[in-house]
Structures are given as C-alpha cells and as structure tokens.
Structure 1
Amino acid sequence: MDAKLLFIHALSPLHAGTGQGVGAIDLPIAREKATNLPYLPGSSLKGVLRDACTDGTTRKEVFGPETTHAADYAGSVHFTDQRLLFMPIRSLSGTFAWVTSPLVLRRFSRDVALAQGADFPANVPDVTPSDGCLVTNATNLIGNDGKVTLEDIPLTPARSAEMDAWAQKFVAVLFPQSSEWKDVFTARLCLVHDEIFGFLVETATEVVARIALDDEVKTVKQGALWYEESLPAESILSGLVVASPVRAEAHTVFKTVDDIIANPLQLGGHATVGRGLCSLHMVS
C-alpha cells in the first residue's frame, strides 16, 4: 500500500454535516461514534478533488468512472476520513490555542507509520488531569497567574521539549513558506488530557442560528429558523491519501492530488455563506 499524510487547515468555519440532528442543533457536524471527535468523511473529500480535476482522462483513471458507470472499475485513489488533529480553543492569554491530546497524537502516529515520507517524533507525551497541560518553550498561552485558561478551564502548564519537537515537525508541513505562522503555531500549541479535549470539542464548536426570509415581505418565514454547527476556523485535520494502482500508477495519483491541492479548496457544505475554505498539504 502506498500512502501519504494529508493535512487540512480550515481557513473559514468547516461544516461537514450529517444532514440531520436529534438534539438542539438542527445541522450538527459529523462525529465518530466511539470518541465523539469531529471528522471530515473521506467520500466528501474525494468528491471535491474529483470535481477540481479538470482533465477528463486523468479524472477517470485516478478517481474512477462517472457514477453511471461506477461498476466498471474502481478508482486508483482512496481517502481515509480526515480526523480532527488540532482544535482552536479560546485562551485567556494568546487569543487562542491549538489544542490536541495524547489519544489524538497516538492515532496520528499510527497513520505516520503507514505513510511514505512522514517524519514525526516517535514518542507521544502523556498528561494527566492533575498535570494540567503541556506547552512549548516559546508559548504565549500562560497568563499572569501562571495558568493556561482554555475557555473557562484553568490548567497548570509545563513547558516541554517534546512539544517543541512536535511543533517543529508540524510547522514544516502546515506553513512551509511562512516563518511568521510557524512562530504563531509554536506559541499556541497545547496538549491536554483526553477527557478535557473531549469536553472542549463537544462545547467549543461554532453554532450559529440561520433564518430564511420571505421574498415578498422580507420577514422570517414560518418555521425557518435553524441552528447549524461547524468546526471553527483554524481547525486542523489529518488523514491518509492511499494509492491503489488500478488505472493509474502511484506516482501519477499523488502528483494529481498534489496539483489539485496547490490552491485552497472549498470542503463541506454552505459554500455560499463562506464555509469550508481550506488549505491542504500532503507530505511528500
């Protein structure tokens, strides 16, 4: 199996929805059943990249035939679900933090082991609820009280050389041409306990109320009020791009994907209201 790591950096709120809701949120985002962590379905990503491929022959060889001939042969590229890697969380100091957890990094490390060209630290730092959180030595998240306060949760920070090593690897992929953003990411990287991370990704998503207006009187239509959930801007997800040489060789598959993601793409729903503008990066 030929596979490469793919990163998705949301430049605007990202709505990868389920189409229906059972609670207070009418249009929730997709979440894993076991962990409740948000993700972008691989099928959604593949559809966007397929539409962005302008060469008809390459599109069929790499992404497979049109839907009407789907049974003829399989496509040569597969995308895993893109799982949340870093969640932007409001911070009392530093404006916001890019937050992750040991479980998330361990699952990411499992993908690293399958991918070609990926070079990330082998050791995943651990943290317990009593430990608070781990930050880099260049952090700007620590307040005057010596705490890192995420939303309304005060945590006792510990500066970590291991976090420095992780930050160095991530910025090389996410911000290859911007030293400024490399510093911004490093200063805001934060590792919290899995339970705290689970609470944050449940409560710190972006939920907005939407309405529809009557065309004639310009007032809200009867019953046309709904709430929709999105991952906030600056969320970072990751997953795998897998090449399966059915009609196209692996190098052709990866080059095609790399060419398509050279410019930002719109992922998920509600593009006309600014949702889903994303920057994508594949580890060569």
Structure 2
Amino acid sequence: MQSKLMFLHALSPLHAGTGQGVGAIDLPIAREKGTEIPIVPASSLKGVLRDACAALHPDGDTCTHIFGPDTDNAPDHAGAIVLTDLRLVALPVRSLAGVFAWVSSPFLLQRLSRDAQLAGQSNLPVKPSLADEKKAWVSNNSALKLGNTIILEDMKLDAQTQADTWADWLAPQVFPDDATWQVDFKARFCIVHDDVMSYLLQVGTEVTARIRLEDDKKTVAKGALWYEEALPAESILAGLVAAQPNGKAQPADVFQIIGQIAGHPLQVGGNATVGRGLCRLSIA
C-alpha cells in the first residue's frame, strides 16, 4: 500500500459535527475521544472527495473504481483509496501582534511526523523539547513577538526563536504553490506546551448562536435557539491518503485523481449554505 500526506486548510469556519451534544453546545465538532483533538472523520472526507471526483469525471466508472461501487453493488469490489481521519495540526489563535498565530504543540507535531514517516518522508524535524508552559517557540522573523513575549488570547508567553525548522518544513507542504502564504505561515507559526494547547483546544473554537424565525411574525420560534461549534477559519489539519490495487485501479490512478481534486475548492462538513466548510486540499 502506498500513502501520501495530505493537508486540509479551512478557508471558512469548519463544522464537521457529531450530531447532538450533551453539554452546553448543541452541535459540537468531532473530536478524538482520548485527546479531544478536533478531527474531520475519514467517512466525511471520503464523501466529499467522491463528489469532487464525480464533478470532474461524470462518466461514473472512474469514481466507482477509485471509491468503490454504490451500496447496492458493494460486494462487487472494494475501493482503491484508503483515508485516515484528518487531525488538527495548527489552530489559529488571536494574537496581540500579527493578528493571529498558527499554534501547534509537541504532541501534535510528533503525530504529524509519524504520519509523514508512514508516507515515506525522511529527514523530518525532531519533536520539540518544549517543557515550560510559560514559553513558546516562534520563528526568527516572527510577526507575533512584542519584545521577547507573545500574547495569545489572554496568555503572556516568553518567546524563543526555535521554531524555524518546523516552520520551514511545514510551510511548503501546506502551501505548495504560494510563496507569499509560505512566508506568512512562517511568520505566524508558534509552538506551545502540550498543556497550553489542551486549553486552547477547549476555548479556541468558534461557538455561534443560531435561531429560526417564524415566517409570518419574524420572531424566534419556540425552542429554536441552538449553539454550534466550528473550527475557526485558517485551521490546518492533516492525515494520510493511501492507495492499494483493487483490480480496477492502481495507486497511480488514485493519486492522479486526488491531485486533480486538490486544485479545486472543497466544501467539507455541514452548513454549506451559511458559508461553512470552504477548504483547500494539498498533497505532500
């Protein structure tokens, strides 16, 4: 089985939900059970990619060979594509300088590095040895620094210029065809302690109150107030896309189709009609 690393960049708030919530948020986003890291489930992503394939290849056979037949003909053969959940790599967080920071942590980057190794990449940056909750790593040309500190949300952290290796590795993979955004990413990239990241994953998502109006009165319908959670625009997630021969398609066919899809905007998750889920896919 051959695999490649893929990145998803949210151009608008992204709601990949789990249905009804049990807490204050009625419609929460999907998260890993053990880590609470936000994800886009592979099942959701597969549907998005299949629809995009169908738009590019309306003959139908190409999509069937890559993604597998429809439910009625499922026993015929499996699809040639294999997808993992997309996990958060960098969360956009409000910064007093530089507008916002793309914030990651040693644990998030360690898991990304493991995926990159599975995809055949080598010479990867080492896991950041950041042991102090009051410190943050930034790049040499960081736009986030105020003197020797950075301020993220309500937290003041001491800035250390040790994130260049990771920023230099990530930027061309997330923005492979845009040198301007590569520079911006490096200037806003930041690594914080895992405990600080856990806090940001709880308070750094976007929660919106939604209502439904009565058609005739234009007042809020009874019981029609709910809260939705979304990953903020500019969030970056990553996972693996793998391919295996299935008698209908070869790995090269799979990666060719995914490469074609990566050149077009995608709508991922729910609430498309209110602007949620506009994303860009890149293959490393």
Same fold (TM over 0.5): yes
Deviation at 1:71, TM superposition (A): 2.6
Any stretches of 5+ residues in structure 2 without a counterpart? none
Q: Match for 1:141: what amino acid?
A: L
**1:2 aligned partner:** 2
Q: Does 1:234 align with 2:234?
A: yes
Deviation at 1:73, TM superposition (A): 1.7
Of 98, 104, 108 in structure 2, the residue corresponding to residue 104 of structure 1 is 108
TM-score normalized by the length of structure 1 = 0.95
Q: Distance in 2 between matches of 1:131 and 1:209?
A: 33
Hey, which bits of structure 1, 4+ residues long, moved more than 6 A? none
Q: Distance in 2 between matches of 1:189 and 1:121?
A: 17
Structure 2 residue matching 1:156: 3-state secondary structure: strand
**2:70 aligned partner:** 66
Q: Match for 2:127: what amino acid?
A: V
How big is the alpha-carbon RMSD for the aligned residues of Structure 1 and Structure 2? 1.2
Deviation at 1:213, TM superposition (A): 0.9
Q: Does 1:261 align with 2:265?
A: no
Q: Distance in 2 between matches of 1:93 and 1:49?
A: 37
Report if aligned partners of 2:125, 2:169 keep a CA contact under 8 Å in 1.
no
**1:251 aligned partner:** 252
Q: Match for 1:2: what amino acid?
A: Q
Deviation at 1:90, TM superposition (A): 0.5
Deviation at 1:170, TM superposition (A): 1.5
Deviation at 1:183, TM superposition (A): 1.5
**1:282 aligned partner:** 283
Report if aligned partners of 1:6, 1:240 keep a CA contact under 8 Å in 2.
yes
Deviation at 1:216, TM superposition (A): 1.5
Q: Distance in 1 between matches of 2:213 and 2:142?
A: 46
Q: Match for 1:129: what amino acid?
A: D
**2:155 aligned partner:** 153
Q: Distance in 2 between matches of 1:119 and 1:12?
A: 32
Structure 1 residue matching 2:196: 3-state secondary structure: helix
**1:113 aligned partner:** 117
Structure 2 residue matching 1:19: 3-state secondary structure: coil
**1:192 aligned partner:** 192
Deviation sequence 1:65-106 (CA, Å, 0-9, x none): 012222322110011000000000011111110000000111
Structure 1 residues 223 and 120, CA, compared in 2 at 3 Å: closer, same or farther? farther
Q: Match for 1:44: what amino acid?
A: S
Q: Distance in 2 between matches of 1:276 and 1:193?
A: 29
How many corresponding residue pairs? 279
Deviation at 1:119, TM superposition (A): 5.0
**1:133 aligned partner:** 136
TM-score normalized by the length of structure 2 = 0.95
